[in-house]
Structure 1
Amino acid sequence: MLADPVERAHQKRKVRKVSVTISTDDLELPCPHCNGEKYVILNEEKAACPKCDGRGVILTALGQTLLHFIKKHS
């Protein structure tokens, strides 16, 4: 008995595994607003940086893509 066309296409396709290494520098950068300090001075008081929400880093495009993928598949 012949396999359906979709199954035959999958059988013909060769799968090649690829290993990728991603460093944290590829995913996030120090916040340019607070210089990675996590806070800014507003009215002579320390306040959480409004640009990075007090994290000290902002996600790169790759970091945002990876975060979206993880949230979507978990």
Structure 2
Amino acid sequence: MIYLMLFKVFVSVPLLKILSLLLFILIGLFVISLFFEVSAKVIKVIIPILGWIIVIGILVITGLWIINWFDLLTITING
């Protein structure tokens, strides 16, 4: 229930759609790896890769947000 509510909150923000999808895939893979020992080796390789993609995505989105904020700041200062 909380999982779906968090997913709806993340998807409502347009920039975070892909990032949130990767995050929930990562959580899903982690849960699957807890139940199935056979696929755990493959999933243990995929989880760090998805984790780094999510970290890089957060940094890119934060960078875009800061650039946008500075653009708005310069527009307001210059009038």
Normalised by the shorter chain, which TM-score bucket? under 0.3
* Structure ranking higher on relative contact order (CA contacts 8 Å, 6+ apart): 1
Task: Decide which structure has greater strand share.
Answer: 1
**Greater Rg by CA:** 1
Give TM-score, length-normalised by structure 2: 0.23
Task: Decide which structure has greater helix share.
Answer: 2
